[in-house]
């Protein structure tokens, strides 16, 4: 990950700057990736309360697929200006968070379960994305350009889904809720 914005070709196109930095969130100096993922989580939670389960599923899939392709496109452009995988480019964190929220779809029960699962998925995604276990580091180092930037987050999001589903079906969310009630 590059920490410098070396502007190799001059000023980056403003549309790509806005998209790739998650509407400017990537310029936050402390943990821009985590903040970007948290913003993506808040967007998903807002959609959860605004949409029916069917429309939430459609919206989540559209966010995942759309962000994947837009992220690959804009990251390829931004790398020409800011170098490979610049710290401020966080569209991949939005993408990975939305991948992780797939585990919270179609929850039959109170809303706290779905929101808790989405939040757990986000936290697990960030931990996995930062530590890069089980192939994530390999993808990060060997697949370059926009696809490399997005695919390590896809893998981290997939691992987060698996762990979140284990937590879900082990009944841990309800167990903790009952303990705190």
**Per-domain boundaries in the chain:** 14-180
How far is it, in rounded angstroms, from Cα 155 to Cα 135?
A: 8
- The single-letter DSSP state of residue 50 is H
Are 103 and 124 a contacting pair, CB within 8 Å?
Answer: no
- pLDDT for 43-73, tens place per residue? 999 999 999 999 999 999 999 999 999 999 9
Of 177, 167, 170, whose CA–CA distance to 110 is shortest?
Answer: 177
Residue, of 3 and 78, whose pLDDT is higher: 78
Residues 20 and 74: beta-carbon distance below 8 Å? yes
List C-alpha distances in Å: 121 to 7, 133, 164. 35, 16, 6
Q: What is the mean pLDDT of residues 24-29?
A: 96
User: What percent of the chain is modeled with pLDDT above 70?
Assistant: 95
125-152 tens-digit pLDDT: 999 999 999 999 999 999 999 999 999 9
Identify the pLDDT of residue 148: 93
**Burial class (CB within 10 angstroms; exposed 0-12, middle 13-18, buried 19+) of 129:** buried
Neighbours of 90 (CB within 10 A): 28
| Average pLDDT taken over every residue of the chain | 93
For the segment 6-15, what is each residue's pLDDT rounded down to a tens digit? 455 678 999 9
Q: In the predicted model, is pLDDT for residue 106 greater than 90?
A: no
The torsion angles phi and psi of 91, rounded to 5 degrees, stand at: -60, -30
Region 24-48: mean pLDDT is: 97
Return d(Cα 77, Cα 75) in angstroms, integer: 5
What's the pLDDT score for residue 108?
Answer: 79
Higher pLDDT pick, 93 / 180: 93
Number of C-beta neighbours around residue 136 at 10 A: 21
In this prediction, residue 3 carries a pLDDT of 46
Average pLDDT over residues 78-106: 94
**Whole-number Å distance between alpha carbons of 121 and 158:** 10
Model pLDDT, residue 2: 47
24-33, 62-71, 103-112, 113-122: which range is least confident on average? 103-112
Residue 23: half-sphere exposure toward Cβ, Cα within 13 Å: 7
């Amino acid at each position: 990950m590059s920490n410098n914005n070396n502007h190799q070709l001059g000023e980056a196109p403003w549309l790509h700057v806005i998209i790739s930095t998650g509407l400017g969130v990537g310029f936050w100096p402390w943990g821009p990736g985590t903040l970007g993922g948290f913003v993506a989580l808040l967007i998903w939670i807002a959609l959860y309360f605004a949409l029916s389960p069917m429309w939430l599923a459609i919206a989540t899939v559209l966010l995942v697929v759309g962000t994947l392709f837009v992220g690959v496109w804009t990251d390829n452009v931004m790398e020409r200006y800011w170098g490979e995988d610049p710290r401020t480019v966080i569209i991949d964190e939005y993408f990975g968070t939305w991948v992780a929220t797939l585990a919270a779809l179609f929850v039959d029960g109170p809303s706290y379960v779905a929101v808790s699962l989405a939040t757990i998925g986000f936290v697990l995604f960030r931990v996995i994305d930062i530590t890069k276990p089980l192939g994530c580091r390999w993808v990060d180092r060997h697949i370059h350009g926009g696809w490399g930037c997005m695919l390590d987050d896809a893998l981290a999001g997939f691992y987060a889904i698996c762990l979140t589903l284990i937590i879900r079906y082990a009944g841990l969310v309800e167990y903790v809720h009952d303990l705190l009630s």
